[in-house]
Structure 1
């Protein structure tokens, strides 16, 4: 950065040299330079307004070996500061009202301008979920998915919304300037129009068409890339994001490490960490972390998603040709929509569900996680819990942490990757109660049950009770064993002491704030503080979310402690060694049972049907050999191997705890 205390005015001989280089100035008295300034690399430049220039000592080497010295050539600058060792050349129109950092490269640009006071996309209202308004989220540079969740969905708390909107408006006011910022080590080449755009350190902006009223957050650890033919207006793009290949974004927030490419278009949408969007279209969506849509024919509209995988041709409708696009939908975390699936909003889909076919009946399966929604004869059939035995669901849960591309040390979104958590287990417990109640009302031998505008086959209901029961046993057993690991107990008193929760927080219902899983009670306390005016900054809110995330496992045990007592009818403060061993045996049976179901599901991928198209000109033997040459043998498949190892490890883990507890009987 330029040291303002080191500035001086140009000397007469320097002015003469600059004029000899084809430069001119509205007033040479308005140009300030660093004390060691040399003007030989300032050629054919027109200056107006207040100008500050740094040193030009560095030489850049470009791809192909071309070398260019830092300096300013063939440009018009008005009210600009240019940092040390920056290269600016071939500005076809002009650069006005910009502070440009050190070691930047700005080439072949049409115009860069800030006119009047600009907030650079901060406090732009994004009409998410409802295109007609009512759920607008004002975006800003540090927006998290969890905070946006509150603003978009908690409209029943008007004081909360007013205070959050005021805090964001204050943030926008604080960052508003009458000049733009280009950070250090920024590269801007072959760009059409940059109007009121704030650009962070190490960003690359190349070959794009038009950027207006926006912020590109970027830093050395997480550089941001804006590429070919991009058009963006009223936007915030977070660190480490890639927006390229003719993507068009209007009134959008793009989260950390998002990829928006290949002609994707979006308006009035929020896309949070690690989302990937290509080819298709998004309209008024709330895309939580890891939402993925990659196909030309896919349209996501007026929906809330997270950890979603949208198949080709996935589509929704947000109005029924009556009062306009006023309807919305929620697809909870971890769901998938198959090719050519369709949902007519309003509707709600439970966590980790699969949507197949076309659904018009406004179903709500939020209390039935891990389900299939299948269209048959224009009706929605619900198959509860069946996704618990799907190899694809487990594979997704394993891949998300590995696909977290965020490299910025300051992470905006708190993301919990757990497949089983107080959030999903609470839903399963509700589901068990609902399904048993249906059996009691209609009869256990009924062929079809009706629930929330869906149909459930009797066989599906009975299977769901078994699968949900196994998953609940697995989670509660995991929690118990984790709590007791690593200690050689000498008495049951020591066991009871170790089982005692160390956190008072965690009881009751838990929520998923678009990636962050936390107790409702703790969120309610935060909301109350915001409404009472006890919280005065956005940073305080984000610190709360980070604290909840860091304390997850401590609070999870408090919840699990209560549920172990309630679900199994035991008292952990006086539990016997025999009861612990019984729970461990039940846990082993459930974990191994679910793993065996996953093993069977994986085996379907190696059936003769799956080999169709292999060994195209040969016998069945050649088909098998060709298949194994491409996909490998079933028993050596990495996932299959992992499942088998998991069964062995979990059996050994349970036996080890039993061995430690048995002497206390």
Structure 2
């Protein structure tokens, strides 16, 4: 039975916080008054009341309606007022936004205990309760716009007197909630990632919980906020929502328990048919056309569109999800997923990723419960109609070819293509695929993600380059595995495998190499192009070290190049393991120190954790050079003794990469099947552009020439 209580009409608008939950010496307006200069307001005059009544306005208590100087009573019509109301200046003018024109004033609405800034335009709000509304706000045709005394605005708060069971958690990375975290305003993917890990460390988990508790007040009585110049029109329900300035909401069905961060320089927009509940939306986001989002965080400048469903998930900045469904996922920045038939569940994806149509990650589990997981490094691209089984794990920049993969996969080889091998009936890994066959795509994506980083507040140093400390570590590990696998193929040891891989005479040798420990099945895993990949990986590390030396010289123009090289070598510590915290790469040792401080209470707030990220960002360029030099010495121990040979190799590799960018893109112009779509080559160029005019290719050539010039300067 629905419980419906009858109370005196004169009480409507009062008692927002009951006496049981009032702080000592305060009243229900404590937090409301904190943002209001009360001396700016006065009570209505008798003449103003008379004008208001003549305009068909009603109030249970006219003495509780307060106004600023400049208030025009003629601009308030056909409204009912309950509780304490404050209204700012109203001028005889109209506001216009995107062809929506509304006269300033408050019309045809029921208003309970709310504050209005100057020159608002409010019309046909059936219920407007317990909100504080900024200046020049436009609100048209809203069914319900209300705030409750226990409003949490998307944070995982338990208010005074509430049971713990009502707390909102985000169940990231695993459907069974075993990696759940408490959302809070300003939470970064790095924060969420840290919390999802080390679940066996109860002291550390308690530390994360305590940090989060410091973010909240458990007191009741906070009003909903609508920032200056916000526009809301033709919307159903808005309940327990805070929204920043310049927010734009049109045609949404339901918005409940949300914080919508928005700024004049990075406004957030929500459009038609959206139903969004229990979430935090950061600045610059776009949410349109039938989106369903529940229990989520959307980082800055991300988009949900065209019926996307985002549930129990964290989507990193500069990402787009449209049409498809994403559940229980933690996704780092720069993720793209555009297809209605793609599905992502119970995964931690390290960003720079792209989900193709028909890709299904998480529909099948190998355990008796829904507790499988998938983890993938940067640059993860499952292709068309890929079906992967949990639990699977992938190194950086893995491309998965179309097909069904019936067993778990753990591939530690970066920059590889995985597919089903028709010849052997097993799994196939093409090692170093991108550098041999699709250099254009991997190089352009690194450039694209950096160019499209729209964040105004770059509070994390995101790494988009495909050569970075994380991939250096994976390349070194891959080369060790190559030696082991080739040694096995030769029926010898890893040393023999290394000798075979380093012998140029074996480049064309068709040696059958089989990997172990890649797939949880009886079928074999064949590794193709292993000799070429071994050589390319070694060359990449030499090129990477030279490139970082050039960058270090540019950061320190007053220092001699050899001094910088020798200084870095003398101070270099072999940082071989790095953690990707939400797109920022940090040495694992530093992360371990951070965790210890959280456990011991040395770090007490998330702000201090965020300060740690900023400190590490400042150290990163020099650490990256140190790491690059360590990688160099692993593949070329005598590089410093023979700098000319090392740098000559780096220049050759730079040319190889630049030529690969143009060659791989040129295939699209030379493919006869693609040319068949057009009458002739000229029409092809008219549709997809002239290869010689490709901005990215031309910029790559310029960068390569500049690099050679810098290397000559070093020599």
Q: Same fold (TM over 0.5)?
A: yes
d(CA) in 2 for partners of 1:429 and 1:531? 33
Give per-residue Cα distances to partners, 1:540-561, cap 9 Å, x unaligned: 1112112212331122123234
- What is the 5 A alignment of 1:192-207? 192-207=236-251
Q: Which residue of 2 aligns with 1:605?
A: 668
CA drift of 1:375 comes to: 2.0
Q: Which residue of 2 aligns with 1:134?
A: 178
Q: Which runs of 5+ in 2 are unaligned?
A: 1-34, 157-167, 491-496, 498-509
d(CA) in 2 for partners of 1:483 and 1:271? 33
Q: Which residue of 2 aligns with 1:259?
A: 303
Structure 1 residue corresponding to 2:400, chosen from 323, 332, 355: 355
Decide whether aligned partners of structure 1 residues 451 and 604 sit closer, same or farther in structure 2, where only a CA change above 3 A counts: farther
Decide whether aligned partners of structure 1 residues 417 and 66 sit closer, same or farther in structure 2, where only a CA change above 3 A counts: closer
CA drift of 1:636 comes to: 4.7
Contact kept, 8 Å, 1:289 with 1:307, in 2: the verdict is: yes
Does structure 1 residue 452 correspond to structure 2 residue 452? no
Structure 2 residue corresponding to 1:6, chosen from 26, 40, 43: 40
CA drift of 1:459 comes to: 4.2
Q: Which residue of 1 aligns with 2:465?
A: 418
d(CA) in 2 for partners of 1:299 and 1:26? 54
Give per-residue Cα distances to partners, 1:94-135, cap 9 Å, x unaligned: 111111111111110101111222111111311112121111
CA drift of 1:583 comes to: 1.4
Structure 2 residue corresponding to 1:39, chosen from 62, 73, 82: 73
CA drift of 1:471 comes to: 1.2
d(CA) in 1 for partners of 2:458 and 2:92? 34
- What is the 5 A alignment of 1:325-340? 325-340=370-385
Q: Which residue of 2 aligns with 1:24?
A: 58
Contact kept, 8 Å, 2:431 with 2:529, in 1: the verdict is: yes
Structure 1 residue corresponding to 2:118, chosen from 64, 84, 95: 84
Q: Which residue of 1 aligns with 2:681?
A: 624
Q: Which residue of 1 aligns with 2:232?
A: 188
Q: Which residue of 2 aligns with 1:522?
A: 590
Query: Bigger CA drift: 495-504 or 155-164?
Result: 495-504
CA drift of 1:593 comes to: 2.8
Query: Bigger CA drift: 64-73 or 429-438?
Result: 64-73
d(CA) in 1 for partners of 2:514 and 2:219? 57
SS of residue in 1 equivalent to 2:410: coil
Q: Which residue of 2 aligns with 1:405?
A: 454
SS of residue in 1 equivalent to 2:73: coil
d(CA) in 1 for partners of 2:631 and 2:220? 50
Does structure 1 residue 583 correspond to structure 2 residue 646? yes
Give per-residue Cα distances to partners, 1:293-338, cap 9 Å, x unaligned: 0011111111122111111111122543752321010121112121
Give per-residue Cα distances to partners, 1:184-221, cap 9 Å, x unaligned: 11111111001111111111111100011111011111
Decide whether aligned partners of structure 1 residues 508 and 459 sit closer, same or farther in structure 2, where only a CA change above 3 A counts: closer
Give per-residue Cα distances to partners, 1:529-573, cap 9 Å, x unaligned: 1111011211111121122123311221232344444443249xx
Decide whether aligned partners of structure 1 residues 117 and 399 sit closer, same or farther in structure 2, where only a CA change above 3 A counts: same
CA drift of 1:498 comes to: 5.2
Does structure 1 residue 593 correspond to structure 2 residue 661? no
Does structure 1 residue 291 correspond to structure 2 residue 335? yes
Give per-residue Cα distances to partners, 1:581-616, cap 9 Å, x unaligned: 121112122222333333432332221435333334
Q: Which runs of 5+ in 1 are unaligned?
A: 617-622, 659-665
CA drift of 1:479 comes to: 2.4
Contact kept, 8 Å, 2:304 with 2:320, in 1: the verdict is: yes
**RMSD value over aligned CA atoms?**
2.5
Q: Which residue of 1 aligns with 2:193?
A: 149
Does structure 1 residue 75 correspond to structure 2 residue 131? no
d(CA) in 2 for partners of 1:29 and 1:487? 70
- Number of aligned residues: 640
d(CA) in 2 for partners of 1:488 and 1:219? 40
SS of residue in 1 equivalent to 2:294: strand
d(CA) in 2 for partners of 1:333 and 1:534? 32
Give per-residue Cα distances to partners, 1:496-550, cap 9 Å, x unaligned: 4653139777834122113101111111111111111011211111121122123
TM-score normalised by the chain length of structure 2 = 0.84
Query: Bigger CA drift: 231-240 or 54-63?
Result: 54-63
Decide whether aligned partners of structure 1 residues 58 and 586 sit closer, same or farther in structure 2, where only a CA change above 3 A counts: farther
Decide whether aligned partners of structure 1 residues 633 and 70 sit closer, same or farther in structure 2, where only a CA change above 3 A counts: closer
- What is the 5 A alignment of 1:167-566? 167-173=211-217, 177-305=221-349, 306-317=351-362, 319-320=364-365, 322-356=367-401, 357-365=403-411, 367-377=412-422, 379-389=426-436, 390=438, 391-406=440-455, 408=456, 410-443=457-490, 446-454=511-519, 455-457=524-526, 459-484=528-553, 495-496=562-563, 499-501=566-568, 507-566=575-634
Contact kept, 8 Å, 1:505 with 1:522, in 2: the verdict is: no
d(CA) in 2 for partners of 1:220 and 1:339? 40
SS of residue in 2 equivalent to 1:40: helix
Contact kept, 8 Å, 2:81 with 2:111, in 1: the verdict is: yes
Q: Which residue of 2 aligns with 1:661?
A: none
Does structure 1 residue 106 correspond to structure 2 residue 155? no
d(CA) in 2 for partners of 1:192 and 1:505? 59
Contact kept, 8 Å, 1:2 with 1:34, in 2: the verdict is: no
Q: Which residue of 2 aligns with 1:663?
A: none
CA drift of 1:641 comes to: 3.5
Query: Bigger CA drift: 392-401 or 28-37?
Result: 28-37
d(CA) in 1 for partners of 2:580 and 2:533? 23
Contact kept, 8 Å, 2:224 with 2:242, in 1: the verdict is: yes
d(CA) in 2 for partners of 1:239 and 1:458? 45
Q: Which residue of 2 aligns with 1:662?
A: none
SS of residue in 2 equivalent to 1:172: coil
CA drift of 1:450 comes to: 2.3
SS of residue in 1 equivalent to 2:78: strand
Decide whether aligned partners of structure 1 residues 629 and 105 sit closer, same or farther in structure 2, where only a CA change above 3 A counts: closer
Decide whether aligned partners of structure 1 residues 537 and 209 sit closer, same or farther in structure 2, where only a CA change above 3 A counts: same
Structure 2 residue corresponding to 1:651, chosen from 693, 703, 708: 708
Decide whether aligned partners of structure 1 residues 50 and 484 sit closer, same or farther in structure 2, where only a CA change above 3 A counts: closer
CA drift of 1:419 comes to: 1.4
Decide whether aligned partners of structure 1 residues 566 and 188 sit closer, same or farther in structure 2, where only a CA change above 3 A counts: same
d(CA) in 2 for partners of 1:526 and 1:206? 43
